[in-house]
């Protein structure tokens, strides 16, 4: 009897261990691979950054009274030249770290059809040998003022870019953004807030197709380098992943902090080269 009981207990322990192992194995088999979402989240921030920066710099240049008079000024580490005859602003970058922590080189030109804040004025933005954090940016970027509404000036921005993230991967985004800026006030505009909505779709640097949209309006102050609040939601098409969320969180109103919520798993991230070029 004693021997039989011992064998029975041993058999029961082995059986329990086998069931537990099977349960763990099944759980591992059904775990979601978050790497597609993480790659897409990084690439959305990288791809929208040059478009938003170009708009912000254009607004700063067009409202700078010194630049309008002297036709040259350094703004946010860029050497800006204004050609009033051609209504063109040229922004030169020489590898300095800008106020958003990004190293920019090359230049972009913004050619206007009229006063920036007048309805139906358009702007064509061209990147020439331009790079952010050593990632070359090429493509087309166009902007139009759509008028005034509720005390704000509205703009529509469309960009189709190619951003070579590294030797193995290129981001191919199609970006549509809508901006709202306050009516120009020379005494307080440099600290004004830009509000943004819009959508983005394309292919990430690792080949994942995605669609995204602003689900909670983004806010960017003119005197801050980073988006301070708002949420972008996105989906990696064709991947077995849940929708992801990019949540901009600023504790003091101006930080590079961003949170990724990937199906309930939260990454506390930063908008820096070390994080975004994983």
Instruction: For the chain, report the end-to-end CA distance as a whole number of angstroms.
Output: 63
- In which residue are the tokens 């860029």 written? 78
pLDDT number for residue 164 = 96
Cβ atoms of 244 and 40 within 8 Å: the answer is yes
Q: Are 166 and 205 in contact (CB under 8 A)?
A: yes
At 2 the three-state DSSP class reads helix
The neighbour count for residue 196, using CB atoms within 10 Å, is 21
- pLDDT tens per residue across span 156-212: 999 999 999 988 799 999 999 999 998 877 667 777 889 999 999 999 999 999 999
Q: What φ, ψ does residue 155 adopt, rounded to 5°?
A: -135, 150
- Write the CA distances from 177 to 41, 123, 213, integer angstroms: 17, 14, 10
pLDDT in tens, 24-70: 333 333 467 889 999 999 999 999 999 999 999 999 999 999 999 99
Distances from the Cα of 270 to the Cα of 5, 47, 152, 228, angstroms? 60, 15, 30, 12
Q: What is the pTM of this model?
A: 0.86
Using the Cα atoms of residue 16, residue 17, residue 22 and residue 28 in order, give the sign of their dihedral: positive
The upper half-sphere exposure of residue 10, i.e. CA atoms within 13 Å in the direction of its Cβ, equals: 6
């Amino acid at each position: 009897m004693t021997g039989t009981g011992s064998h029975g207990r041993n058999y029961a322990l082995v059986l329990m261990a086998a069931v537990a192992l099977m349960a763990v194995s099944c759980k591992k088999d059904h775990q979601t691979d978050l790497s597609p979402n993480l790659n897409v989240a990084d690439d959305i921030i990288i791809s929208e950054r040059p478009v938003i920066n170009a708009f912000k710099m254009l607004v700063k240049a067009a409202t700078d009274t010194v630049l309008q008079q002297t036709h040259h000024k350094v703004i946010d580490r860029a050497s800006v030249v204004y050609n009033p005859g051609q209504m063109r602003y040229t922004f030169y970058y020489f590898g300095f770290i800008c106020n958003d922590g990004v190293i920019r080189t090359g230049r972009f030109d913004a050619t206007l059809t009229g006063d920036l804040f007048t309805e139906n004025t358009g702007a064509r933005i061209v990147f020439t040998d331009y790079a952010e954090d050593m990632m070359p940016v090429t493509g087309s970027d166009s902007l139009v003022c759509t008028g005034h509404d509720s005390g704000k000036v509205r703009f529509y921005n469309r960009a189709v870019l190619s951003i070579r993230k590294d030797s193995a991967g290129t981001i191919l985004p199609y970006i549509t953004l809508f901006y709202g800026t306050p009516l120009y006030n020379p005494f307080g505009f440099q600290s004004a807030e830009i509000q943004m909505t819009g959508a983005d779709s394309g292919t990430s640097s690792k080949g994942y197709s995605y669609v995204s949209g602003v689900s909670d309006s983004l806010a960017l102050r003119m005197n801050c380098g980073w988006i301070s609040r708002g949420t972008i939601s996105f989906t990696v098409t064709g991947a077995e992943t849940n929708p992801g969320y990019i949540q901009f969180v600023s504790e003091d109103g101006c930080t590079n902090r961003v949170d990724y919520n990937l199906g309930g798993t939260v990454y506390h991230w930063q908008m820096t080269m070390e994080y975004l070029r994983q």
